[in-house]
């Protein structure tokens, strides 16, 4: 595929580094940037023939098969509309919109134009995550009860992130979009998110938006998708996910503890990894940063999906649902109430699945718990199915 | 010291194992249990001369210097009152009461009687925790912004835990009391807890009380003390704490990952550790369970404090504050609102400390962020002190 | 590139899975296997047009740009000779030969034929390893003193591995080839390996070859490259490397502890990862097995090198050196002496670099050590440059 | 017990901190030091009534029940002889002697005098280690094949360590004594150590003795006890042990990765832990240093043993065996041969236990290996019991 890149900043370079590595077939051939110097530098760095400061020109070029939007949040809608207009496949950086309305307009535009549209939610494509979701779907964890996704670091790379109007918000929009979608994948995308409770504060930075937030998303089946996001974390970039199910547990650490420990007095220091805060002492690099963050597997799915005429794993519809959840989170942070997730367009299941089945000990009792004690005794905690009385039985072994 | 133990169950045995180990000076000399068989077995197992089914008899015995209450929650008050009546030093298992009213009555009773009273909050005495609090108090983490304490396992040992009337609640009372007090220690006990938001649900077990809950405690200075408690966790006993400050981070893992990994096909299997769920495959024992859970350091502080005529690190007043916070949490879980922490007796600071100071880049700008990019460039994010405008400057290195 | 695969077993499938993933440009188009059923199944599984039981036919086909040898060790030489004969680029699975003589004949053949020849030493291409070598070469660890590479698992996949004549040996040949080359990369490929001490034993399996061995390779500059290999390890596949330098340390864990922990009761069980021993309890999968084992980066380097007319990072010469070191190891295991590494063709440096420089405290003393004691004192250990006397000075802080 | 401490340096203080903590019964009441200022300071710091520069005076005092030798290695013999002479129970710091002859003389002296004698091998008393040995003895790991014990740090605390004549050697004597005894405990103290191969070098420091060594101790039953010791390690104090058995694996990390991670920018910096190299960045403290290093459990066993009239877990005989093994290691480092362990006084088993039993697949075949492949196939590797031929069978699932 021939790809046009819209944007030339941090994320555009990460995408380009990914696509132009590992002898991949799909290559960037043109770049658009608002700033000509940046456009030119990007084209030169990646060996592109074409660069321009005119977005439409780059998009509508006949040689282009797909467009990647790597622009600040406030420019996503304009770019998506242009792709829809010119009938080009479009891949848009997360978050899709600054809010659900914006996201919905983009969703409608690509669906009406009938163009392929992929949502570049890279952290739902890390190899660890993909394999975890496989295990969850295979039933290894039983019924999912709770997920936690955490992204925390000392703050983003570019000025516009820190300006609420351009970005749509602070850490919630910037990082929460990852965490919410990670939770949805584990809990099941067909399960409706119902309401959100969120705490947010601006604890450290001289900005208007929140730099720290914790949220709980309640799903119709009773599962909770927790997110923890911060621009105030010290120590690097903390990317961790957890899942609890009735039959098991998953803990993922995607960045600071991946089996690569290095101590150095600092001789020979240089760039360690995204958001690393030090170049001496104990450091925790990752082997291949793009890979650990999911970029290669994400683009593979996107272009495979285009060729196979199927939807990618992460679609504009997912981006829209995420925005709707984040809208509720931002509102909740203000009202201090649980706020409903407003989804005018819900495509999942509508019947709440809330069935619980209790383990029976025998005809008369439920089994609450069986446990081996340090002194070798075995203890059963039982509940009378009719009276509700709880009792215990201990067997001395 | 000569110690009377009230109770002969799981926790009483853990205490006794701790006190009768490591050639410690203080010894249990008598035990009370409601059940004579249990009292006798306990006395025999630990070589005690005296056992009884009459609580008062055991407490008032002249040879007794201190009483340890290791009874179910609903029996704490009666036992504390008896100790106060007979003028005996009393150490009470966590939680102090089933609610703040009960705790307040106990607090008042011991203060009026003038007896020594210690709150057996073991997890605030683990060696890792004590050293962490030292570091926090020394300023290594700067201003504390957020703490998280998590305790999750497949459920408690005895029948009464599962009965809401006897225990006072489910996972929130049983485990949340640890987590809340851990947060208070890191944030500072003199900082007032203001309000609590809590989600709770009964996701798995056939019981009335919650078996899973997440709560946020907001303190007057803006810090958040998060707790995560569950009786539905699979994989053993998950005990982890985290602290974020403006200058640093602490991560504690007190049980499942402490530098002791064992794989076994299962030959020779036996008791691994509290709440372990398996005796084959990869197992994660702890070296010395009582030590990792804080028991030895807790009793050392308690008896040292008695001898030195000072308060222990954890007092009945702390137990009362914890109960007040948990009351708010239980209420919030029902009302789905942030609920005020009602503390009729507040002994900490009353002036909110909410000052923030921003780092200046120069006279005109605040420094939001300084960062090294992968291509070697250095980027500054700045904010105009007057206009509030955010901009970035990039230096090519 | 169009690639012919020789072999259709475990490693051939791993290579094919790697090459036919992530939208890579280079594709396998033909397969050779001694067994027609296997050849056919492989061709069908990977969508190849051509399969054959005639090796020469597959190699000499005009459409083929490169040949990958994924055959048992005893068939490498024949296959390399055929590639040389037909002038085809050849990539050979590790170890290159069963011994240095065999490896040398292969090296000579490809050099005389002038064909591109790459040594498929995947574990020298894992992303963690590549970044570690970068750090070492940048000086972050100072002068390298010692490296340890460990590969241990419950035993290999195919019958021929267990037959000493076909494989050339046991765990030393099978796993030691990785470990030795990892050590060479860290210590520096231009530093001559001088001698080897090796212990080996057949501790568990009913086989002729060793199933467990430890070896020390001494290099001309005094550095030691330690290898630990075993077919008797329980718990999965243990892949760990360590490096000690005068300025730092690296610890790599490439398989069993990479930030992915999963507990499951076993519902939904299935294939976890290469050599996993269990499908319940605590499991430690890797995200993307081929990636963690280095395959994608290895093939990228190989085909890039072919196109750019340069040598790959791992060459047949490296394979030859590794075989020479392993020959010394196998001999040492028998003679119980340190055995010289016989390298008739040495292309690295020949002058031993053994310079040490000591840190001076002042004109009179070397500084042996400076240390902060628990009580706050600072202690200096000094050595008189002339008399050699050692003394200490303590400053009370 | 009333204890006399001989010595007032680093290790004496560690012992005293341990004994005067946690409300232990046994207390130090007198101290001897060659240097009066140090003796006085020590007595003052620990509240002792008596201090002296006369060793005999301190030892023979009637009030003293036991003597702890915390002196440099070259003074152990003199002190032990004095204890024997005055009939006092004696606990001697590791290593027992500078060599086996010295150790043997001490062993003979205490046995002839009939005094209690304990060998203060603290690392064989860490709680993790004690529980590991329990698991090994319970059979959880099957037959032990290999152990590895590693102690590495940037170098010891006092001048005399660095002087070969006073210490008896370098890292081998200082650290190897721990590692060797750890291996003996896992393999079984009744199994005879037969021979040792050791590499040693002075890689970094301006000293005569080795600052880095690797050794393999071969036991009569074929097990290997590997030791890795260094005074050149960067990053703190590396204390790790590993055990491989036919049924399982144990990995212990006793210092740098124990579930306590802290990042700090360095504000509030102070003493972190023994041999820590930094007070900013990522730090890895331990909760309770004495506990993690085994001191409390060691003294508990020693004094319990004295009272119970039994031998402690670690005796002077163990110290003698360790010295004999280290003598062979030091010799091997020079001769570059495997050197016999010379034990004129062997008290363990004398019949080599080398039996191996192979798993049968059926009457005709041994089972070498059973494995699940990624594509779901199950593979068996079999060996004909008579012909020795190896073959594989694959079942497609």
Do A55 and A204 lie in a common domain? no
pLDDT above 80 (res D146): yes
DSSP label at residue B50: E
Do A188 and A262 lie in a common domain? yes
Contact flag B224-A214 (C-beta cutoff 8 Å): yes
Q: From B284, which residue of chain C is nearest by alpha-carbon distance?
A: C282
Given a contact cutoff of 8 angstroms between Cβ atoms, the answer to whether C15 and C68 are in contact is yes
Contact flag B265-C234 (C-beta cutoff 8 Å): yes
pLDDT (tens digit per residue) in D351-377: 655 556 777 888 899 888 887 776 777
Q: How far apart are CA B64 and CA B88, in angstroms?
A: 8
pLDDT above 80 (res C376): no
Contact flag B235-C278 (C-beta cutoff 8 Å): no
Beta strands in B84-192 (DSSP E): 89-93, 117-120, 144-152
Do A113 and A147 lie in a common domain? no
Q: How far is CA C289 from the centre of its chain?
A: 16
Q: How far apart are CA C252 and CA A91, in angstroms?
A: 36
- What DSSP letter does each residue of B172-238 carry, written as one string? HHHTHHHHHHHHHHHH-TTSPEEEEEEEEE--SSSSSS-SEEEEEEEETTS-EEEEEEES---SS-E
Give the nearest partner residue to C300 out of A23, A131, A135, using CB atoms. A23
Q: From B233, which residue of chain C is nearest by alpha-carbon distance?
A: C263
Contact flag C282-B280 (C-beta cutoff 8 Å): no
3-state helix, strand, coil in chain C (%, to 5): 35, 25, 40
Q: What is the band of B269 on the pLDDT scale with cuts at 50, 70, 90?
A: low
Q: What is the band of B352 on the pLDDT scale with cuts at 50, 70, 90?
A: low
Give the nearest partner residue to C135 out of A24, A258, A268, using CB atoms. A268
pLDDT (tens digit per residue) in B281-296: 899 999 999 999 999 9
The whole-number pLDDT of residue A171 equals 96
Please check whether residue B197 lies inside any domain of the structure: yes
Residues ≥6 apart with Cβ < 8 Å to C37 = none
CATH, residue A216: 3.30.360.10
Please check whether residue D303 lies inside any domain of the structure: no
Give the nearest partner residue to D278 out of A235, A236, A281, using CB atoms. A281
Q: How far is A291 from chain D (nearest CA, A)?
A: 22
Mean pLDDT of C91-113: 98
Mean pLDDT of B317-344: 98
The whole-number pLDDT of residue D371 equals 77
Contact flag C265-B235 (C-beta cutoff 8 Å): no
C neighbours by CB contacts (3+ pairs under 8 Å): A, B, D
Q: Which residue has the higher pLDDT, B15 or A353?
A: B15
Mean pLDDT of D90-109: 98
| Domain boundary residue, one of C68, C97, C123 | C123
Please check whether residue B297 lies inside any domain of the structure: no
D interface test, pick of B239, B246, B248 with most D CB neighbours within 10 Å: B248
* C262 chain-A contacts, CB cut-off 8 A: 132, 135, 140, 248-251
Give the nearest partner residue to A234 out of D235, D263, D278, using CB atoms. D263
The whole-number pLDDT of residue A113 equals 98
Q: What is the dihedral of CA D239, D240, D241, D247, to 10 degrees?
A: 160
Contact flag C244-D226 (C-beta cutoff 8 Å): no
Q: How far apart are CA D201 and CA D216, in angstroms?
A: 15
Domain carrying residue C261: 130-288+315-340
Q: How far apart are CA D94 and CA D69, in angstroms?
A: 9
Mean pLDDT of D58-79: 97
Q: How far apart are CA D59 and CA C179, in angstroms?
A: 54
Give the nearest partner residue to A265 out of D234, D236, D280, using CB atoms. D234
D neighbours by CB contacts (3+ pairs under 8 Å): A, B, C
Residues ≥6 apart with Cβ < 8 Å to A362 = none
Please check whether residue B73 lies inside any domain of the structure: yes
pLDDT above 90 (res D80): yes
Q: Which residue has the higher pLDDT, C97 or C371?
A: C97
pLDDT (tens digit per residue) in D205-250: 989 899 999 999 999 999 999 999 999 999 999 999 999 999 999 9
Q: How far is D147 from chain A (nearest CA, A)?
A: 22
* Total-model pTM: 0.94
Least-confidence region, from A305-314, C198-207, C350-359, D266-275 = D266-275
Alpha-helical runs (H) found in chain C: 10-19, 36-46, 55-60, 76-85, 100-113, 127-137, 164-167, 171-174, 176-187, 289-292, 295-308, 316-335
Do D180 and D227 lie in a common domain? yes
CATH, residue B26: 3.40.50.720
How far apart, in Å, are the Cα atoms of D79 and each of B41, D86, D107, D156? 47, 11, 13, 22
How far apart, in Å, are the Cα atoms of B212 and each of B151, B203, B215? 10, 7, 10
Do B175 and B218 lie in a common domain? yes
Please check whether residue B245 lies inside any domain of the structure: yes
Please check whether residue D302 lies inside any domain of the structure: no
D interface test, pick of A154, A264, A268, A282 with most D CB neighbours within 10 Å: A282
pLDDT above 60 (res C353): no
Least-confidence region, from A151-165, A287-301, B266-280, D331-345 = B266-280
| Domain boundary residue, one of C78, C108, C123 | C123
| Domain boundary residue, one of B75, B93, B123 | B123
Look at residue A234 and give its three-state secondary structure: coil
Mean pLDDT, all residues of chain A? 93
Do C118 and C40 lie in a common domain? yes
Please check whether residue B353 lies inside any domain of the structure: no
A interface test, pick of B15, B21, B145 with most A CB neighbours within 10 Å: B145
pLDDT (tens digit per residue) in A197-250: 999 999 999 898 999 999 999 999 999 999 999 999 999 999 999 999 999 999
The whole-number pLDDT of residue A369 equals 83
Do A176 and A319 lie in a common domain? yes
Do D143 and D170 lie in a common domain? yes
The whole-number pLDDT of residue C352 equals 58
Q: What is the band of A392 on the pLDDT scale with cuts at 50, 70, 90?
A: confident
Is the bond into D95 cis (omega within 30 degrees of 0)? yes
Helix C100-113 × helix C76-85 angle, to 10°? 10
pLDDT above 90 (res D131): yes
Do D266 and D380 lie in a common domain? no
Q: How far apart are CA A236 and CA C55, in angstroms?
A: 53
Counting other chains too, the contacts that C109-113 makes at CB distance below 8 Å and 24 or more residues apart are C109/C80, C109/C81, C109/C84, C110/C80, C110/C83, C110/C84, C110/C316, C111/C316, C112/C84, C113/C83, C113/C84, C113/C85, C113/C87
Do A185 and A272 lie in a common domain? yes
pLDDT (tens digit per residue) in C169-201: 899 999 999 999 999 999 999 999 999 999 999
Q: What is the band of B68 on the pLDDT scale with cuts at 50, 70, 90?
A: very high
User: How much of chain A exceeds pLDDT 70, in percent?
Assistant: 95
pLDDT above 90 (res D108): yes
Q: How many domains does chain B have?
A: 3
Q: How far is B234 from chain C (nearest CA, A)?
A: 7
Q: How far apart are CA D373 and CA D378, in angstroms?
A: 6
3-state helix, strand, coil in chain A (%, to 5): 35, 25, 40
Mean pLDDT of C11-30: 97
Q: How far is A306 from chain D (nearest CA, A)?
A: 27
Mean pLDDT of B74-97: 98
Q: How far is D37 from chain B (nearest CA, A)?
A: 30
Q: From A236, which residue of chain D is nearest by alpha-carbon distance?
A: D263
Least-confidence region, from A42-51, B374-383, C76-85 = B374-383
Do B40 and B79 lie in a common domain? yes
Q: What is the band of C395 on the pLDDT scale with cuts at 50, 70, 90?
A: confident
Do A218 and A80 lie in a common domain? no
Mean pLDDT, all residues of chain C? 93
Q: Which residue has the higher pLDDT, B269 or C177?
A: C177
ipTM for the complex shown: 0.92
User: How much of chain D exceeds pLDDT 70, in percent?
Assistant: 95
Is the bond into B95 cis (omega within 30 degrees of 0)? yes
The whole-number pLDDT of residue C168 equals 86
Phi-psi region of C327 (alpha: psi -120 to 50; beta: other; left: phi over 0): alpha
Mean pLDDT of C250-279: 80
The whole-number pLDDT of residue B196 equals 98
C interface test, pick of D230, D368, D387 with most C CB neighbours within 10 Å: D368
Given a contact cutoff of 8 angstroms between Cβ atoms, the answer to whether C79 and C56 are in contact is no
The whole-number pLDDT of residue B279 equals 77
pLDDT above 70 (res C23): yes
pLDDT (tens digit per residue) in A94-108: 999 999 999 999 999
Contact flag B235-C263 (C-beta cutoff 8 Å): yes
Please check whether residue D308 lies inside any domain of the structure: no
Q: How far apart are CA D326 and CA D343, in angstroms?
A: 12
Q: How far is A236 from chain D (nearest CA, A)?
A: 9
Contact flag B281-C282 (C-beta cutoff 8 Å): yes
- Tell me which residue of D290, D255, D261 sits closest to D275, measured CA to CA: D255
Contact flag B283-C284 (C-beta cutoff 8 Å): no
Give the nearest partner residue to D127 out of B25, B253, B291, using CB atoms. B291
The whole-number pLDDT of residue A275 equals 62
Given a contact cutoff of 8 angstroms between Cβ atoms, the answer to whether C302 and C92 are in contact is no
The whole-number pLDDT of residue B274 equals 60
Q: Which residue has the higher pLDDT, A59 or B269?
A: A59
């Amino acid at each position: 595929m021939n790809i046009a890149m819209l944007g030339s900043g941090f994320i555009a370079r990460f995408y380009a580094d990914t696509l132009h590595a590992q002898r991949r077939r799909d290559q960037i051939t043109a770049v658009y940037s608002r700033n000509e110097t940046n456009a030119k530098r990007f084209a030169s760095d990646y060996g592109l023939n074409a660069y321009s400061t005119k977005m439409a020109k780059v998009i509508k070029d006949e040689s282009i098969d797909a467009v990647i939007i790597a622009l600040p949040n406030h420019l996503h809608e304009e770019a998506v509309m242009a792709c829809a207009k010119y009938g080009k496949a479009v891949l848009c950086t997360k978050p899709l919109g600054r809010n659900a309305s914006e996201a919905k307009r983009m969703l409608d535009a690509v669906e009406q134009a009938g163009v392929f549209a992929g949502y570049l939610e890279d952290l739902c494509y890390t190899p660890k995550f993909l394999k975890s979701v496989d295990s969850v779907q295979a039933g290894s964890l039983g019924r999912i009860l709770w997920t936690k996704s955490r992204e925390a670091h000392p703050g983003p790379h570019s000025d516009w992130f820190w300006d609420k109007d351009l970005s749509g918000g602070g850490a919630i929009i910037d990082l929460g979009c990852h965490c919410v979608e990670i939770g949805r994948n584990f809990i099941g995308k067909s399960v409706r998110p119902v309401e959100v409770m969120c705490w947010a504060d601006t604890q450290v930075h001289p900005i208007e938006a929140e730099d720290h937030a914790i949220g709980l998303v309640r799903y119709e089946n009773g599962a909770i998708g927790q997110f923890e996001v911060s621009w105030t974390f010290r120590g690097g970039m903390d990317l961790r996910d957890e899942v609890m199910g009735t039959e098991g547990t998953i803990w993922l650490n995607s960045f600071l503890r991946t089996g690569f420990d290095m101590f150095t007095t600092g001789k020979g220091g240089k760039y360690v990894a995204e958001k690393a805060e030090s170049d001496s002492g104990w450091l925790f690099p990752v082997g291949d940063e793009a890979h650990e963050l999911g970029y290669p597997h994400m683009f593979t799915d996107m272009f495979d999906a285009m060729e196979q005429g199927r939807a990618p794993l992460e679609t504009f519809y997912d981006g829209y649902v995420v925005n709707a959840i984040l809208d509720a989170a931002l509102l909740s942070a203000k009202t201090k109430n649980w706020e409903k997730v407003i989804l005018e367009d819900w495509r999942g299941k509508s019947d709440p699945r809330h069935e619980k089945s209790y383990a029976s000990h025998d005809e008369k009792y439920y089994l609450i718990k069986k446990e081996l004690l340090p002194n070798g005794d075995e203890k059963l905690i039982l509940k009378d199915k009719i009276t509700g009385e709880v009792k215990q039985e201990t067997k001395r072994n």
